[in-house]
């Protein structure tokens, strides 16, 4: 059972007593939501330390859903090939997609092996093709970094003008190139689920959930969908009042 509260921006916050309880809670919710959607629904999956255990649990215990009837996309990517250990898609594929029998033709990924601007343009065009149906996505999974970043959108006083682009190349604070869906794309979601665990993210969670307005200094405030829910373990939620 989770404790539920609401943020100033209208997001719902669910607090679980432990990471294990969080993972089990997300397993049940994910299977329930996916099982109720029609074929061809679209899921955006994020990398990160908290989502991966959820994907692994769903892969082992969520086989009642016909996953191969749906579409899967990645929220962001490092500029590496898919077989690189640092690839978000590579790990999502190994822990979730392949075990559930999702075919490659049901997956839209960032081509991290290509030059960043070219890879972003390719994903943008893929998303334009999907944009004939709104919202773009039925469910978006997102994580939250200790610095407050989500997807590969990093805290800053201002961002480049993404314009009408659904995907972009960005730069990590360490100088490395990243690929990400833009807020324009991520906001076009029926449901957005932030999944966060660990005491190291307590301050980032507190800042994001206490915000009364959106800000590029708090990227998570910029990307919520029609319904936005946060799923936290007690450690991540310990900074909330």
User: Mind listing the pLDDT tens digit for each residue in 39-87?
Assistant: 999 999 999 888 999 999 999 999 999 999 999 999 999 999 999 999 9
- With respect to CATH, is domain 3-237 assigned 3.40.50.620? no
**Burial readout 153-192 (b: 16 or more C-beta within 10 A, e: otherwise):** bbbeeebeebeebbbbbbeeeeeebbbbbbbbbbbbbbbb
Q: Is 64 exposed, middle or buried (0-12, 13-18, 19+ CB in 10 A)?
A: exposed
d(CA 27, CA 66): 15
Helix axes 51-61, 19-35, angle to 10 degrees: 60
Q: What is the CA radius of gyration of the chain?
A: 17
Is the confidence at residue 1, as pLDDT, over 60?
no
**Model pLDDT for residues 119-175, shown as the tens digit of each residue:** 999 999 999 999 989 999 999 999 999 999 999 999 999 999 999 999 999 999 999
């Amino acid at each position: 059972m989770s404790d539920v509260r609401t943020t100033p921006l209208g997001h719902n916050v669910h607090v679980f007593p432990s990471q294990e309880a969080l993972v089990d809670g997300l397993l049940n919710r994910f299977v329930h939501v996916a099982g109720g959607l029609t074929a061809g629904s679209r899921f955006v999956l994020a990398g990160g330390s908290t989502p991966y255990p959820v994907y692994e649990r769903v892969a082992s215990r969520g086989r009642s859903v016909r996953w191969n009837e749906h579409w899967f996309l990645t929220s962001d990517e490092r500029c590496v090939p898919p077989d690189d250990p640092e690839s978000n898609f590579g790990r999502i594929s190994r822990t979730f997609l392949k075990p559930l029998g999702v075919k490659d033709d049901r997956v839209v990924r960032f081509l991290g092996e290509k030059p960043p601007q070219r890879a972003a343009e390719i994903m943008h065009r893929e998303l334009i093709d999907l944009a004939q149906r709104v919202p773009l996505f039925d469910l978006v999974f997102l994580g939250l970094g200790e610095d407050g970043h989500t997807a590969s959108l990093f805290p800053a006083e201002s961002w480049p003008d993404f314009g009408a682009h659904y995907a972009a190349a960005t730069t990590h604070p360490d100088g490395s190139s990243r690929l990400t869906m833009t807020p324009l794309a991520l906001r076009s979601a029926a449901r957005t689920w932030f999944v966060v665990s660990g005491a190291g993210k307590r301050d980032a969670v507190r800042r994001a959930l206490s915000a009364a307005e959106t800000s590029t200094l708090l990227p998570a405030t910029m990307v919520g969908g029609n319904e936005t829910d946060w799923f936290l373990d007690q450690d991540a939620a310990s900074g909330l009042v």
